[in-house]
């Protein structure tokens, strides 16, 4: 199949995906879109929202429609790295045998990732970056495709351990789930309080998703689009000569080079699912907020004046 035909096929399948997910997930269109885009790019996503907004249900439904293995890890203060990665035990022949942990799956739901200490959070770093884990000096490759979709509750700070910037940078998107509209909430209540269980069908296989990831990488990008993305990221750095007054006034730290890479990858995927064969600047703008919002750090002045990260990014766009 040619690349053009593959992109046209992706457009049709993306619509089917959205239809299947819509049987279970009501509203949250932006969250669904960005979650799927991150998977098509081979990236990871952080889902942020108050309890009850179907974060866990969204990840579970996405895994079903993509035909992938799914494991949920509930992060707690006493969770150990071996609870995620696995551990070695002595078998009946007194030989060490490695028992795989839940990380050995296609989609990992890291539920309430900020409830576990940094030592355990760090157990995910190698898996997220290298698609492999090291236990007792032995190296184990993870099956592809592999994604971490983590959830975080923004309102409870007691008993939580904020994710360090190095780990936040590993997430391609930071996706905020908003409260549903009145009509959507009525629909949610109707569908969840009846005896009818909606079933979804698998639209993709693991091999097809890996093929899509390769296709996204092959999509050509014009130099002016790459320069726009790199320039946009550069403007978020307070010490840069390109920084705006708003950035120098309200930010302590800007985004790093991984933000530029992810902007272009996500723009390619955004263009592909719209049926375009190459991304333009509008595609970069469409994915800018969820890619930059967790990579820039506000200062006390921004907090005091209630200036949000989204306000700052929108001023740059």
Q: What percent of the chain has pLDDT over 70?
A: 97
Predicted local confidence at residue 157, as pLDDT: 59
Interval 148-165: pLDDT, tens: 888 887 655 555 777 777
Domain contains 155: yes
- Residue 208 resides in a domain: no
Structural domain count, the chain: 2
Domain region containing 280: 219-316
**Average pLDDT of the chain, as a whole number:** 83
User: Which residues have CB under 8 Å from 199's CB, separation 6+?
Assistant: 23
Residues 223, 151 share a domain: no
200 located within any domain:
no
| 101 plus 31 within the same structural domain | yes
**Any domain includes 204:** no
Could you read off the pLDDT of 218-256 as tens digits, one per residue?
Answer: 889 999 999 999 988 888 888 877 878 887 888 888 888
Residue 45 within any structural domain of the chain: yes
Are residues 126 and 263 both part of a single domain? Answer: no
Do 103 and 175 fall within a single domain?
Answer: yes
Task: Say yes or no: 121 and 252 in one domain.
Answer: no
**According to the model, what pLDDT value does residue 159 have?**
59
pLDDT attached to residue 156 = 57
Whether 194 is in a domain gets the answer no
| 183 plus 234 within the same structural domain | no
Chain segment 3-14, per-residue pLDDT in tens: 788 888 888 888
| 119 and 251 assigned to the same domain | no
Q: What's the confidence (pLDDT) of residue 123?
A: 79
Res 122: pLDDT: 79
**pLDDT the model gives residue 155:** 59
Q: Are residues 224 and 184 in the same domain?
A: no
Give the residue from 167, 188, 209 where a domain finishes.
188
């Amino acid at each position: 199949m040619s690349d053009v035909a593959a992109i046209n096929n992706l457009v049709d399948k993306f619509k089917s995906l959205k239809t299947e997910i819509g049987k279970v997930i009501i509203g949250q269109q932006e969250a669904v879109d960005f979650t799927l885009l991150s998977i098509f790019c081979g990236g990871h996503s952080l889902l942020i929202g108050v309890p009850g907004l179907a974060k866990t249900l969204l990840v579970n439904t996405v895994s079903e429609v993509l035909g992938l293995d799914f494991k949920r890890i509930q992060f707690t203060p006493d969770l150990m790295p071996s609870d995620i990665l696995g551990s070695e035990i002595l078998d009946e022949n007194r030989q060490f045998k490695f028992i795989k942990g839940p990380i050995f799956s296609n989609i990992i739901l890291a539920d309430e990732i900020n409830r576990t200490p940094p030592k355990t959070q760090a157990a995910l770093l190698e898996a997220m970056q290298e698609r492999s884990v090291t236990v007792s000096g032995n190296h184990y490759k993870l099956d592809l495709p592999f994604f971490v979709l983590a959830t975080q509750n923004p309102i409870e700070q007691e008993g939580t351990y904020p994710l360090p910037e190095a780990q936040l940078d590993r997430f391609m998107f930071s996706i905020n789930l908003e409260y549903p509209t009145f009509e959507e909430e009525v629909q949610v209540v109707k569908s969840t309080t009846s005896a009818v269980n909606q079933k979804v069908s698998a639209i993709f296989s693991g091999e097809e998703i890996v093929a899509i990831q390769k296709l996204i990488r092959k999509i050509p990008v014009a130099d002016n689009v790459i320069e726009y993305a790199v320039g946009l990221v550069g403007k978020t750095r307070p010490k840069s000569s390109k920084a705006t007054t708003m950035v120098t006034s309200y930010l302590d730290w800007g985004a790093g080079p991984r933000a530029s890479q992810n902007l272009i990858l996500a723009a390619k995927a955004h263009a592909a699912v719209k049926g375009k064969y190459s991304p333009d600047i509008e595609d970069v703008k469409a994915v800018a907020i969820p890619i930059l919002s967790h990579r820039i750090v506000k200062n006390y002045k921004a907090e005091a004046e209630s200036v949000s990260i989204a306000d700052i990014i929108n001023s740059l766009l």
